[in-house]
Amino acid sequence: MHKSTDLNTFSENIDTSVASLVEEMTLAEKVGQMTQVEKNSITPFEVAEYFIGSVLSGGGGNPTPNNPQMWADMVRAFQESALTTRLKIPLLYGTDAVHGHSNVKGAVIFPHNIALGATRDAALVEKIAYATGTELLAVGAHWTFAPALSVPQDIRWGRTYEGFSEDPMVVAQLGRAYVKGLQKKRDDDRWILGTAKHFVADGGTTWGTTRYMSWLSEVNWQAATPNWKIDQGNAVFDEETLRSVHLAPYRSAIDEGILSIMASFSSWNGDKLHGHKYLLTDVLKGECGFTGFLVSDWMAIDQLDPDFYTCVVTAINAGLDMIMVPYDFKRFVATLTEAVEKGDVSQSRIDDAVARILRVKLELGLFGQPFGNDALLDEVGSDEHRSLAREAVSKSAVLLKNEHQVLPLTKDISELVVIGPAADDIGLQCGGWTIEWQGGSGAITDGTSLLAGIQALVANAARVVYKRDGDFAKDERFTVGIAVIAETPYAEGAGDRADLVLSEEDITLLENARNHCDKLIVILISGRPIIVNMQLPLMDAFIAAWLPGTQGQGIADVLFGEKPFSGKLPFSWPRSLAQIPRKALDTDSEEPQWVLGYGLTT
């Protein structure tokens, strides 16, 4: 990673270079460096005209056609324009590569963080981050908005799957490993800038506290709607809890050298994090010694006040260094410029922000190597990366019930029925933040479905019967059935869900399958635990597969004994809705269905 001896040796030169650049820059150039724009809202020419410091691809911010080469061409065009400016300060291109380079069709989609939390395997997580970085560098992107260091305490939250665990120690360990993998230097000295997010306590908000900002335009697709109930909500607890549960993973990431941190949409005790000077400046930059730069979330500063000028002044003075203004970046540039000229934002605050951004760009080596590595394009979606993802899927699957040792199955099984549309759906396997912001269903990208993985392992694939809709003839009977059920993909507040139980369609599918199978194995594809207490008697075996990504054959591997079941629950699995949120377990008279860390082995 970047904290190598040679960089320590040249740190004085980096500081000197930063100071020299800042001294030479005009106010327009400084404000431009503090501005980040979504690629659909700016042209390469405008990048140079406004001295823009960063361009990003939001969820679904893809070129047409969406393939690695088009991505590389798109990013290069923006970078080439940035290098035509007077000072030739390179652009930092960012994207939400949160489980692989997940916007790019054909890239490997790794399991979401909740699944990686089930592996408890820091070395594996480091490898996944490194592979993701390779696929980013292939297209010229040097920055990913990952890892999430959320510590979710209420699984009704639509971002639960972005957290490694409800246990801050697991989050700290695996988050640090992810940072280490991203920022590990390659032979050509290139590495990827990670982003610890969302600072801080985004996973500790209270159900029903999300505020709908009526003044925000509908174009802000990350603004809370009246249907959002906990995402972007209010975390209500004392500072001791904030520090021990939610701040701890950030300290670990800072120790590992993280140089970018994203502020949270959410609030702490009523105060929005994007305007929280005490936490952003005093605690994070001061007490924790964070030397990188702070970036805002998607148009998030607009939530601070109906008056945009007040939003800009509050956010910058609170300690934010780069502002993600995906749409009207010209308004932000003009507003911040006006605030400096009026003295509402000091020149020293601007210089500090710009110095932090430039220091990161210098440490990344962008001034010497501003482009990606075209030689890596063949590694996007490579067999090696798919093999790594397959391993992660196997290690993350958690076996929660296995009556009469029905698992593992034998590969020479005489007949097997696979049931449910989720068994053959790449999109459902991947979940949200895949190709599009909210994800999708069907063959949205390249990969192997669970059904295909089973067919490849069974000695006689012709003996695998697939019943997509779960319909059986009246007298039809199978020795073993595998029923696959799944949540519909979602991201952020769109996934806030009060009633975490199986759908009527899923229950009917399981009941039909039970009536026609001597042994029934049930696999749940989901971004969080789902209440299954009433349906457990229908199952001989039950597996939490989480959101495994593109390599569904990893689940087949544990079903048929190619790999052992070893995954452990990263979250407590509630027995009823009364045990949600997590703190409700402490006062409930019953134990959860399964405790944190539970998982059978084979």
Q: Is the peptide bond before 421 cis (omega within 30 degrees of 0)?
A: no
Provide the 3-class DSSP secondary structure of residue 412.
coil
Q: What contacts 215, CB < 8 A, 6 or more positions away? A: 306
The number of angstroms, rounded, from the C-alpha of 277 to the middle of its chain's C-alpha atoms is 26
The counts of H helices and E strands in the chain are 19, 17
What positions carry a catalytic annotation?
297, 492
The number of angstroms, rounded, from the C-alpha of 260 to the middle of its chain's C-alpha atoms is 15
Provide the 3-class DSSP secondary structure of residue 156.
coil
What is the SS3 assignment for 501-545? Answer: ECCHHHHHHHHHHHHHEEEEEEEEECCCCCECCCCHHHCCEEEEE
CA distance 18 to 542: 56
Residue 501 bridge partners (DSSP): 531
Q: Can you point out the beta strands (E) in 89-237?
A: 92-95, 143-144, 196-199, 234-235
The number of angstroms, rounded, from the C-alpha of 319 to the middle of its chain's C-alpha atoms is 24
CA distance 264 to 262: 7
Provide the 3-class DSSP secondary structure of residue 401.
strand
CA dihedral 45, 49, 50, 54 (to 10 degrees): 40
Does residue 441 contact residue 468 with C-beta atoms inside 8 Å? Answer: no
Buried b (16+ CB within 10 A) or exposed e, 90-108: bbbbbbbbbbbbbbbbbbb
What is the SS3 assignment for 322-374? Answer: EEECCCCHHHHHHHHHHHHHHCCCCHHHHHHHHHHHHHHHHHHCCCCCCCCCH
Does residue 469 contact residue 130 with C-beta atoms inside 8 Å? Answer: no
CA distance 547 to 378: 26
Read off φ and ψ for residue 143, nearest 5 degrees: -145, 130
CA distance 424 to 553: 11
